[in-house]
Amino acid sequence: MTTLNGVAVHGHHIDGRERPSADGRTFEVRNPANGTLIAHVAEGGAADVALAIGAADAAFADGRWSRMTVRDRHRILNRFADAIEAVLPDLATLESTCVGRPLREMRAQLGRIPEFYRYFAAVARTAEDAVTPFEGSYLNYVRRVPLGVVGQLTPWNHPLLILTKKLAPALAAGNAVVVKPSELTPLTTLVLAQIAHDAGIPDGIFNVVTGFGAEAGAALCTDRRVRKLDLTGGTETGRVVAKLAGENLVRVTCELGGKAPVIVLPDADLDRAAAGATFAAFIASGQTCVAGTRVLVHESQADALVERMVRRARTIGIGDPLDLATQLGPLVSRPQLERTERYVEIGRVEGATVACGGRRPDGVHASGYFYEPTIFTNVRAEMRIAQDEIFGPVTCVLTYRDLDEAVQIANGIQFGLAASIWTGDAARAMKLAQRLECGIIWINDHHRIDPSLPWGGMKDSGMGRETGLEGYREYTQTKSVIVNLDDPVDWYATNEVVRLS
């Protein structure tokens, strides 16, 4: 690592070492809480992506990782998990500085990360292959093998967690990876690559090319040596990436936008539901694909719930993300702040009421992208604020008359990622869960994750699943080996009539 005017300059991580871009370009990474320059980072182009894919391809082909015994791969991934754990406080501080999320949130989120590597190491170590009921005197055994070079495109909202959900199964299954992190938050991904290297993950197996989606991301998506693309990002980017994957006939997993309903049933404890609804909406300043941003409440309880939510929202402490007392940091960038401001204006014009928030807060750094937690009431399901993913600290309260109407509102949207149901009646909630068109449903909670959970959405929220056994399988392909246990038939030496059934 070099410096420029006292600020660090980071290169890509290719084939186990740091490299500048082929043409020497760099871009700036800034702190969203105060605008200060954190680092200069290599701006990758097609040549850098090709170099990384070449390194990954060679590393995969010579079997240094893909054909390593699964016992050794398991051991190295556990060592990687231990090494991450040892530097978690530093990783959390760096992630918080780049993303703007409060350190207390970052610590809670990153504390889960080592588990993912341990879980997928164990999945690979304990994976059992199948023998199918093949007709006749044959044995057909099915092996799962890695795909080869895989490309991962990650966003800025949870850089390390989202990368880990993709990287842990990919590495455990024996693939070689090239990651293109968001240009807003590439630093922790680069640090993770160095930790992986030091933990013994062979050179060329985990490569990072920093840069922009339109250039470095596009180069990764179009290279025919890449056997799978895995994106977390916006729905429009998902369409672009899935189309490119289709052209190259490679696998694709897309984890895209969402607008989760938070369904409060009439029997719910309203204090708990209000706490849940504010947690669902305002964690990460609402910049999360599963943010609960449509609160559905029975019309008779709306005022009581809103009053409780507003009271809670007004006490959320906004400020410096690195202060452990801070509960809400800035948005990640000026475009995200402007998008939030634009949608709040759209909501006002549409006739919704701002019950709280709806403005930038006082008493914070003038160059930071802060926005107050905002609750809209008098929202109709067809309004844009109730249909579009805002990706800011903005939630809408909608009312329903009966359960059928609640289901209709919950499902009446392009997205189908997540939902939560708040109730004292678990059986009722489980029946309701059956009717919701989404991939993840929490009952009396929101945002909870686990490495074992298949994560992903229906409809425009994406395709494929991350994590869990399904996520692991999506980083493998099957190979059937059919063994004839008898003498082989000499097909052309006999005129015997073949039975048709």
Amino acid letter for position 483: V
The stretch among 128-136, 233-241, 441-449, 465-473 that binds ligand NDP (CB under 6 A) is: 233-241
Secondary structure of 423-441 in HEC code, one letter for each residue: CCCHHHHHHHHHHCCCCEE
Asked if 218 is part of the footprint of ligand NDP (rule: CB under 6 A), the reply reads yes
User: 259 catalytic, yes or no?
Assistant: no
Active-site annotation holder among 98, 221, 254, 289: 289
The span from the CA of 400 to the CA of 297, in Å, is: 6
Asked if 223 is part of the footprint of ligand NDP (rule: CB under 6 A), the reply reads no
Handedness of CA 271, 276, 281, 283 (dihedral sign): positive
* Residues binding ligand NDP: number (CB under 6 A): 27
User: 255 catalytic, yes or no?
Assistant: yes
129 to each of 93, 140, 144, 453, 481, how far by Cα in Å? 42, 11, 7, 21, 12
Site residues for ligand NDP, window 195-214 (CB under 6 A)?
Answer: 212-214
The stretch among 97-105, 131-139, 234-242, 480-488 that binds ligand NDP (CB under 6 A) is: 234-242
Site residues for ligand NDP, window 252-271 (CB under 6 A)?
Answer: 255-257
Per-residue contact flags (x/-) with ligand NDP for residues 147 to 166, judged by CB under 6 A = ------xxxxx---------
Active-site annotation holder among 18, 95, 105, 466: 466
- Does residue 264 contact residue 300 with C-beta atoms inside 8 Å? no
User: 345 catalytic, yes or no?
Assistant: no
Q: Which is nearer to ligand NDP, 52 or 273 (CB)?
A: 52
Least Å distance, CB 180 to ligand NDP, is 5
Indicate the burial class of 348 (C-beta count within 10 angstroms; 0-12, 13-18, 19 or more): middle
User: 466 catalytic, yes or no?
Assistant: yes
Can you tell me which of 159, 169, 174, 233 binds ligand NDP, judged by CB under 6 A?
233
- Does residue 255 contact residue 449 with C-beta atoms inside 8 Å? no
Of the candidates 463, 14, 59, which has an alpha carbon nearest to the alpha carbon of residue 216?
A: 14
Asked if 464 is part of the footprint of ligand NDP (rule: CB under 6 A), the reply reads no
Q: Which is nearer to ligand NDP, 77 or 331 (CB)?
A: 331
Per-residue contact flags (x/-) with ligand NDP for residues 164 to 193, judged by CB under 6 A = ----------------x-xx----------
Least Å distance, CB 51 to ligand NDP, is 18
Asked if 241 is part of the footprint of ligand NDP (rule: CB under 6 A), the reply reads yes
Q: Which is nearer to ligand NDP, 157 or 399 (CB)?
A: 157
Long-range contacts of 407-413 (CB under 8 A, 24+ apart): 407/432, 407/435, 407/436, 409/261, 409/294, 409/296, 409/381, 410/261, 410/263, 410/294, 410/296, 410/436, 410/437, 411/435, 411/436, 411/437, 412/381, 413/259, 413/294, 413/386, 413/387
The span from the CA of 37 to the CA of 97, in Å, is: 11
Residues labelled as active-site residues: 166, 255, 289, 466
Positions touching ligand NDP (CB under 6 A) are 153-157, 180, 182-183, 212-214, 217-218, 221, 231-234, 237, 240-241, 255-257, 289, 389, 391
